[in-house]
Structure 1
């Protein structure tokens, strides 16, 4: 699409507007007027979005490759990588960076993959430091090879670094990363301190029953060192098989730490800080919490991202709407045109990660975003609810879509544990006064409506995998469909319960039973009254038990 639009000047704005936005623009004003409005609005700046957020922080991924295989990050065999000629070159990185710096970016962080596996890292750092107006160049690294590179990087101008480390125990490091190297990472931290980096930031992803027992150890680690340990709430993204019951919330982490350090207190934060700063009085270093899941910080976000293959991402969790700056550069786009592309992408940035989140809760049997486990600890119900919705807000990958091909695929449940699964659902169909009376009298021409609908619902539950393509066929232990005639409201109320012993849940079977029972009533009664007068509504999951994601009750 980009190349076609690039050479068709009359459609130039469509290159950086979503289909919906472009349609609205065409309805409200001409494309030419809209383009002129953007050009003339010099006070806005191309890095300011429609919510007034000015983006001064750019993260550039230098590579998709990594020399670790962290269990929560990628499969042991690795992932499919973009071909080398699809990755941004050194010149392209500097070109893009210089454009953003001219527009107000003050800080650039180099990431990966693992940025230290790129051989021209020192050159990139040095050339970025030459950009007028850029105040800071930093990297995020796993530290595995940093001891032999850090001195050179510092001479090139590297201002700051974050080192990823999820455990202070060597055996756990090898288990988590599927590689050796813990002593080298610890040596890199010590070297960074010796070279005067203050603070040395350590990124630590905390997971329940994984490394949450080391929270206090990490806090203690800051006692005599200028270390800023940043505890990151476990976040969902494509391929990491995220589970809510593995997440340790910000509130939970604070409670665990205060059992040992009751004086653990909050510090003042800057307006764009993603980390909530805390400190034990008297300690040299400090601690921060990155609460992407439980308390998102979208309103103050000032970050943009460039992927290793040259796509501009305005939000980490926004998969749609990426624009390829690489393709624009390689097609000979002018700087003015690049500014238009960037401006359009920034203008499309949403207020927060997603809207209407509640509609997606508990909606699919195989959906990794089921929020069923309740948080442990003394967190109020309101905080739990906020945490759930904030977590959903972060997730944007469909589990029934193959990440390589982009096509629909069935979820592999082979590694899941067998457990007892129960799901209950409900729904209703408003039939009106006449049909309600005929059902009660059992005088409809097609027969006993409630009995036939009950049988249809039971049969449908047993045939769910034939009706819904990506559902797994299950051997059900029990199906019950109950229909109640509510004469006061002229409604048939339907409830179902489905049980099985298996590796995946029966939510879809319960919902299918209710749906088909309601449709059967509709079919048997449609000849008596105008068809539009009957309304099927309120079909939803009532409860589910079993599985790694825990239980849910509406």
Structure 2
């Protein structure tokens, strides 16, 4: 190893140059020495030959080229390990970093050597101007632009994220059991399916590997570790198990902390050839793999085996504070510096001083549990929103949990859920009778045929304009092969449930063109839900239509079933569409509700 050489740059204070294996870095001895670092970022081809920034190199020689930026404190989940049950006060919006400030901070760090930026929250996808921020960041010639999300909004925003330059996605998912998801996240179990749909969408759009972050808690979800590992068999997933970490208000308990080595033993008892991979020095995750599996597994061992020696991460909180260590309570306000009109040189000095004070390692597991630190949600995690009673899911709703058009369940989750609560529905095949608010009568005339049997269109001119709703339902029965293909979401023509939902909405809006005697209506709402019926190997379609008009929307609510047939016939034609019926209607002269009682 070469000895340190001391030299003088004209007009500057001394700087120490360290040579090692053909690379070099400058270590700052005074703040002015950083003037040798270029103010503008060179091209990627040339930067490998330049020293890393003195401002982002700490006194232990760690070079910080990875920046995590929290863009919001808000979240649509409220996970137990993330924050206290009573919630946390959110920072007023005017005290959060603006989009322009986020971009300026990012540019400053990139000019000094940062080549990887990850956006976090709260839940970053709740920030409406995030695509604009991402678009500007993508122009900085970074190696990686990442998002850490809880996945609730991911499926809907996936195309926009892709086009904005996002290169990697981490999704937080702590359980494969929807009901357990409710316990952990303090949100309805139905939200689990939105997360899974986001995972499916990200995979389809080429995010390989897609990282799944799972915080493991003893007695909560440690029994699912091997089920998560099984997901890596045929999917390009990097499932990362995170040791339960203490933050202010999350009631950390050592008895619930499952150590990395214990998790490895659990997995190896089921997969004996589960083996360690080689990790780069700056990686936080210890990588493992089962030979033959497409994906891999990682362990983030912050508590039992710290990885501080290779730490290359810095964090900017949503309110603009720089944290040089996730577990450190020391922060400096970049926001206040920016708003005071600080110069670029003074801003770099401020950052350099904070990085220079970074400790060689965090305080250790037991010390961390008693230290004051922000709740995780206010640092850079992806889970929080204040809880109110209206968010609690009634037991009846859980027992009849519906699988919406965005919900495709992995087989492991399907098995868990069926064991926990039975299948999603258990409809009996018995006689179905119609019941209206008025007594049944067979003396009424058919509305679209006159006394001579000629076709006529009903005149609704004098009918009262009211808000009218109708709900309808149909059941599409599939062969075992076609049903499994739907579950696996591998049909050649795409995602059956999503496309059928879109076609159902379009069909409802075009009903007057499809059925000649229907009136064209101003449709104000169409909602299509598709539920997988595991016992019957079918898809139950439920549609709601709404209008403010002088005639009803029953027909609009009855038009969604045939698309599923078209999507599945590529597998085989053993498909039956049955039980097409109106569930209820309201807002007209008479209300109606379907009854299955004999």
TM-score normalised over the length of structure 1:
0.58
Gaps of 5+ in 1: 1-32, 355-389, 405-554
Q: How far apart in 2 are the matches of 1:41 and 1:126?
A: 27
Aligned: 1:222 with 2:232: yes
Shift of 1:93: 0.1
Question: SS where residue 175 of structure 1 aligns?
Answer: helix
Query: 1:49, 1:347 within 8 Å by CA — same for their partners in 2?
Result: yes
Alpha-carbon shift at residue 271 of structure 1 (Å): 1.7
Corresponding residue number in structure 2 for 1:337: 346
Question: In the alignment, which residue of structure 2 is the partner of 1:161?
Answer: 169
Distance 1:287 1:277 in 2: 6
* Equivalent runs, 1:530-541 vs 2, <5 Å: none
Q: Are 2:44 and 1:70 aligned?
A: no
Judged with a 3 Å threshold, the aligned counterparts in structure 2 of structure 1 residues 64 and 260 are, in CA distance, closer, same or farther, namely same
Q: Does 1:97 align with 2:106?
A: yes
1: CA distance, partners of 2:136 / 2:327 = 30
> In the aligned structure 2, how far is the partner of 1:310 from the partner of 1:285?
36
Secondary structure in 2 matching 1:287: strand
Match of 2:366 in 1: 392
Cα shift at 1:392: 2.6
CA distance in structure 2 between the partners assigned to 1:195 and 1:38 by the alignment:
42
Q: Does 1:142 align with 2:150?
A: yes
* Distance of 2:182 and 2:37 partners within structure 1: 54
Give runs of aligned pairs for residues 439-458 of structure 1, distance below 5 A.
none
Alignment of 1:428-467 (within 5 A): none
Corresponding residue for 2:244? Answer: 234
Measure how far apart 1:200 and its partner are.
0.5
SS of the equivalent of 1:209 reads coil
Q: CA deviation at 1:78?
A: 2.4
Structure 1, residues 106-159: CA drift from partner, whole Å, max 9, x if none? 100000111011111111111100113x21110100000111101111011110
1:38 CA drift (Å): 5.8
Q: How far did residue 394 of structure 1 move?
A: 4.0
Among 148, 152, 158, which residue is 2:160 paired with?
152
Unmatched runs of 5 consecutive residues or more in structure 2: 1-28, 39-50, 379-598
Within-5 A mapping of 1:542-553: none
Q: What pairs up with 1:305-384 in 2 under 5 angstroms? A: 305-320=315-330, 322-354=331-363
Task: Give secondary structure in 2 for the equivalent of 1:284.
Answer: coil
Q: Aligned to 2:270, what secondary structure does the other structure show?
A: coil
Alignment of 1:163-242 (within 5 A): 163-180=171-188, 181-242=191-252
Matches within 5 A, 1:208-287: 208-287=218-297
How much has 1:239 moved relative to structure 2?
1.0
Structure 1 residue 59, shift from structure 2 partner: 0.2
- 1:508-527 to 2 correspondence within 5 Å? none
C-alpha distance in 2 between matches for 1:279 and 1:295: 20
**SS of the residue 2:319 aligns to:** coil
Give the distance between the partners of 1:35 and 1:222, measured in 2 at CA.
48
From the superposition, tell whether residues 340 and 395 of structure 1 become closer, same or farther in structure 2 (CA, over 3 Å): farther
The superposition leaves residues 529-550 of structure 1 with CA deviations (integer Å, 9 ceiling, x where unpaired) of xxxxxxxxxxxxxxxxxxxxxx
For the pair 1:48 / 2:22, whether they are aligned, the reply is: no
Structure (1 or 2) with the larger CA radius of gyration = 2
**Cα distance between partner residues in 1 of 2:30 and 2:228:** 53
1:369-404 C-alpha deviation (Å, 9 max, x unpaired): xxxxxxxxxxxxxxxxxxxxx4135446249x9x99
CA contact (8 A) 1:312 1:325 kept: yes
Cα drift, residue 77 of structure 1 = 4.1
**Structure with the largest fraction of helix:** 1
Cα shift at 1:40: 6.4
Task: Choose from 276, 280, 290 the match for 2:300.
Answer: 290
The count of aligned residue pairs is 333
RMSD (Å), alpha carbons? 2.1
- The residue aligned with 1:470 is none
Q: 1:40 to 1:195 in 2, by over 3 A?
A: closer
Distance 1:40 1:224 in 2: 50
